[in-house]
Chains A and B, each alone.
Chain A
Amino acid sequence: MSVIFILISISILVAIIFLAAFFWSVKSGQYEDTVSPGVRILFEERKSEEKQPASQAEEQDTDQTKN
């Protein structure tokens, strides 16, 4: 039955790791702005689309060269 001691210790340890992760996320400012990261991820995706040789992507490439 002493396995419960070990299991509980491990479970609390895991929970503490998550708590630490939460601390890190707050301290690194992830809760400062909750809007732009959600939008940003969409742009990131679109950039990778550009690399695909689709007709749409080519259009964008020409725009890029104008830049």
Chain B
Amino acid sequence: MVYDILKENDLCDYYELEQSPGINLNNRDFADRFSYLDNAEIQEKLLDFTDGRMSRVRLFLPAIHCSSCIWLLENLYKLKDGIRQSRVNFSKKQVLIEFLNESISLREVVETLASLGYEPHISLEENDQKKKPSPNRTLFLKIGVAAFCFGNIMLLSFPEYFGFDGGWDDEYRRFFSWLNVFLSLPIVFYCSTDYFLSAYKGIKHRYINIDVPIAIGIVTLFVRSLVEVVFDFGPGYFDSLGGLLFFLLTGKWFQAKSYESLSFDRDYKSYFPLAIHRKEEGEMKPVPVANLQIGDEIMVRNQEIIPADSILVSGEANIDYSFVTGEAVPVLKKAGDKIYAGGRQVGPSIDLIVKKKVSQSYLTQLWNQDGGKVATEQDQHSMINQISKYFTILVLAISAIAAAYWAWEDSSRVLNAFTAVLIVACPCALTLATPFTLSAVLGVFGKHHFYLKNTAGVELMAGISQLIFDKTGTITYAGKGKISFEGAPLNPAEKLWVNAIVKNSTHPLSRKVADYLETDVKLPLLAQFEEVPGKGLIAQVEGREIRMGSAALVSAENAGSRGVQFSSVHLSIDGFYRGCFVIQNQYRDGLKSLINRLKSTFKLALVSGDNNAEAQNLQAYFPENTPLVFNQNPDKKRTYVMLRQEEGEKVAMLGDGLNDAVALQAADFGIAVTDDISAFTPACDAILDSSQLHRLDEFFAFSQTARKIIISAFAISFCYNIVGISFAVSGLLTPVIAAILMPLSSISVVAFATLSVKVLAWRKGF
């Protein structure tokens, strides 16, 4: 096994080793793509550290995927002078590079990576995040301390457990007890702080979360044990206290499980360029986008995104708004037109004058309208916090009744019984049930390429009542479309001419036609070629004038109503109308059966940014009365989601692009569908690999199963509580029984939760 891996690695290494000298690091031309990295201000923000001579930068490389990537990236110093050291963090897909400023610049480092196929994704927003150490660190420390104290207290309590009453020297007993007191101090004052804080916050907001009974339990355990030791009544329950915190924190660790290399919190800023060329004293210089002022003249090159609402100065622009609206076809803009931020220029560079600051642009404002879901709100809806209120009241009531009973019967045991109930009812097993079940479910989903942002997502999924789909890219194949030619079939010569023309254009529709016509024969040369932005192509081939594109360019009368419903490319040869290429969306495999299975459980709806050309086709997929809404911009999509929510539905939204981002956020559960999970997805609660879309119903069904498992686990832990409380009310809860009951209940609940998820996942075919 190990040999296999080694061998595989070796082979990979050889391959890379052969290949890397072959890549001439300078021959790939990035032109000015990374020129903004020469800007001092941007450098300062990106670099982790610099002393003018040596710099350190942390870059996110989404392409990292295997062990030879690590090998190659860590051997960068051999490939490029000036790179001192590089260190890969595989789980975060980051590389930390140290380089010497005099021999290599940041731009060259990035270009080197890009030429090797590891183009870094650079965004200031995420750069701030990745520098912070993961929040897990404190949790790890707390678990470590809890384990240390718990273990030692257990050892020191052993003589008590075995009841060495006779030969057990009083002197030692006192010594051991006091050691336990000291060992419990870090547990109470360091490990438990989160629970105290959370309980305090909960009470301040007038609601009882699960941390309230936990905090009560911790305080009672500590105070009662301390009293017992100080007044020499007994050994106290320090072992239970240690175990409690150790198990609770482990549960927290499981709950915090997530996918580090995936980002669920991207907003529009991650999509925007870092810098843009601005005219300064007649020269174009890259400046950070945030520094743009109203009135600045900027240049946007082919495939660049317009960072701020601006006005086109001269010429014509061809803006692809697919990012914002989902419309696939670029829009033609003329000098003086307003261009909104988020559009991508297709074609030659354009000059713009900034009209609004980046932070006040339309897209930015749209985003900021919605502050995003508040974490505490999600918290309150989780099952555990819903029952915690009743649980806490019940426990307090039982302890009060027990106290009242003993006050009447035998007043010396009042405090004993009262505190014993609070101790034994401390909901350790109860709190463990949820995180362990959910993290197991998360693992099962992850194995099938459905990645949840956090464990709370599973509970959210279980409550969903309506599904809203986006069309383009979500339920259709992105970039793939069925093309057909309407009109008399083209003869081979005509096919060659058309193919020769479209090969010269980079317009997405041209590419599709080219793919459709794919021929191996040598293509004829074009005598003349003109691309009319936003309209189409005019060319001379073998003495014929061929026009392709919009109906207006070709000849409107003859085009008639053909193909109006779809994205279409009209074609005329020597002024005669030949017909048109119709591009239809191709729906993902298994969509129909998926919808059939979903419709019994969920209300369905479709909102699309596209026109209603596909309405008829879609009706065949969706049940009859499904609302299909078209021409929805991002804001309208969000409003649609919110309206459904006002009707009392719990909405899950499936979308793929930035145009769905606000709706994904507004929805109770936003799922981003993507063809490549390491690619960039909008902020969401879950990322679904598009190849697994047909299993969506199974994922939802399994979240229901998870809910049932949690409820069963709750039932088990309640049973333990009842046993424990019956000991406690009768005043018989000895430290030994507490010390056995607590870990026993916790471990059995955890085992039950994880095993049943595994077994049920296997039975359901996951």
Given known pairs A33-B89, A36-B89, A46-B10, the reply for A26 and B141 (CB within 8 Å) is yes
Q: A residues engaging B (CB < 8 A)?
A: 1, 4-5, 8, 12, 15-16, 18-19, 22-23, 26-27, 29, 31-36, 39-40, 42-43, 46, 60, 63, 66-67
Query: Measured between alpha carbons, how far is A36 from B65 in the docked complex, in Å?
Result: 11
Partner of A19, one of B90, B91, B136, B148: B148
- Selected A-B contacts with CB under 8 Å, 21 pairs: A1-B172, A5-B175, A8-B179, A15-B152, A19-B145, A23-B141, A26-B140, A31-B136, A33-B92, A36-B70, A39-B70, A39-B71, A40-B70, A42-B5, A42-B67, A43-B9, A43-B71, A46-B13, A63-B14, A67-B17, A67-B21
User: Which of B70, B78, B145 counts the most A-chain CB atoms under 10 A from its CB?
Assistant: B70
- B6 in contact (CB, < 8 A): yes
Contact residues in A for B140 (Cβ distance below 8 Å) = 26, 31
Q: Is the CB of A39 within 8 A of B90?
A: yes
- State which residues 1-32 of B face A: CB under 8 Å: 5-6, 9-10, 13-14, 17-18, 20-21
Q: Is the CB of B90 within 8 A of A36?
A: yes
Given known pairs A19-B145, A22-B144, A42-B6, the reply for A27 and B89 (CB within 8 Å) is no
Q: Mark B526-544, 1 if CB is under 8 A from A, else 0.
A: 0000000000000000000
Closest to A60 in B: B17
Q: Is the CB of B144 within 8 A of A32?
A: no
Q: Is the CB of B10 within 8 A of A15?
A: no
Q: Is the CB of B17 within 8 A of A63?
A: yes
Closest to A27 in B: B137
Contact residues in B for A60 (Cβ distance below 8 Å) = 17
B461 to nearest A CB, angstroms?
Answer: 28
Q: Is the CB of B148 within 8 A of A31?
A: no
Query: Measured between alpha carbons, how far is A23 from B151 in the docked complex, in Å?
Result: 17
- B134 in contact (CB, < 8 A): yes
Contact residues in B for A46 (Cβ distance below 8 Å) = 9-10, 13
- B169 in contact (CB, < 8 A): yes
- B74 in contact (CB, < 8 A): yes
Contact residues in A for B156 (Cβ distance below 8 Å) = 8
A55 to nearest B CB, angstroms?
Answer: 14
Contact residues in A for B74 (Cβ distance below 8 Å) = 40, 43
Q: Is the CB of A33 within 8 A of B78?
A: no
Contact residues in B for A15 (Cβ distance below 8 Å) = 148, 151-152
- Determine chain B's interface SS by DSSP, over half rule: helix
- Known A-B contacts: A32-B133, A39-B9, A42-B9. Give 15 more (CB < 8 A): A1-B169, A5-B175, A8-B156, A12-B152, A15-B148, A15-B152, A31-B136, A32-B134, A33-B91, A36-B88, A39-B90, A40-B70, A43-B70, A67-B17, A67-B20
Contact residues in B for A67 (Cβ distance below 8 Å) = 17, 20-21, 78-79
Closest to A33 in B: B89
Contact residues in A for B136 (Cβ distance below 8 Å) = 31
Contact residues in B for A42 (Cβ distance below 8 Å) = 5-6, 9, 67
Query: Measured between alpha carbons, how far is A63 from B175 in the docked complex, in Å?
Result: 68
Closest to B20 in A: A67
A6 to nearest B CB, angstroms?
Answer: 12
Contact residues in A for B89 (Cβ distance below 8 Å) = 32-33, 36
Contact residues in A for B134 (Cβ distance below 8 Å) = 32
State how many residues of chain B have any CB contact under 8 Å with chain A: 37
Closest to B75 in A: A43
Contact residues in B for A18 (Cβ distance below 8 Å) = 148
B224 to nearest A CB, angstroms?
Answer: 24
Partner of A26, one of B13, B20, B144, B148: B144
Closest to A43 in B: B71
Query: Measured between alpha carbons, how far is A5 from B175 in the docked complex, in Å?
Result: 8
Query: Measured between alpha carbons, how far is A42 from B13 in the docked complex, in Å?
Result: 12
Q: Is the CB of B90 within 8 A of A33?
A: yes
User: Which of B5, B18, B79, B137 counts the most A-chain CB atoms under 10 A from its CB?
Assistant: B137
Q: Is the CB of B137 within 8 A of A31?
A: yes
Contact residues in B for A31 (Cβ distance below 8 Å) = 136-137, 140
Q: Is the CB of B18 within 8 A of A63?
A: yes
A63 to nearest B CB, angstroms?
Answer: 5
Query: Measured between alpha carbons, how far is A32 from B136 in the docked complex, in Å?
Result: 9
Q: Is the CB of B13 within 8 A of A35?
A: no
User: Which of A1, A29, A35 counts the most B-chain CB atoms under 10 A from its CB?
Assistant: A35
Query: Measured between alpha carbons, how far is A27 from B74 in the docked complex, in Å?
Result: 23
Given known pairs A12-B152, A15-B152, A19-B145, the reply for A34 and B67 (CB within 8 Å) is no
Contact residues in A for B21 (Cβ distance below 8 Å) = 63, 66-67
Query: Measured between alpha carbons, how far is A15 from B179 in the docked complex, in Å?
Result: 14
Contact residues in A for B137 (Cβ distance below 8 Å) = 26-27, 31
Query: Measured between alpha carbons, how far is A60 from B15 in the docked complex, in Å?
Result: 11
Given known pairs A46-B10, A67-B78, the reply for A35 and B90 (CB within 8 Å) is yes
Q: Mark B168-183, 1 if CB is under 8 A from A, else 0.
A: 0100100100010000
Contact residues in B for A23 (Cβ distance below 8 Å) = 141, 144
Q: Mark B105-141, 1 if CB is under 8 A from A, else 0.
A: 0000000000000000000000000000110110011
B43 to nearest A CB, angstroms?
Answer: 24
Closest to B155 in A: A11
Closest to B17 in A: A63
Query: Measured between alpha carbons, how far is A26 from B18 in the docked complex, in Å?
Result: 38
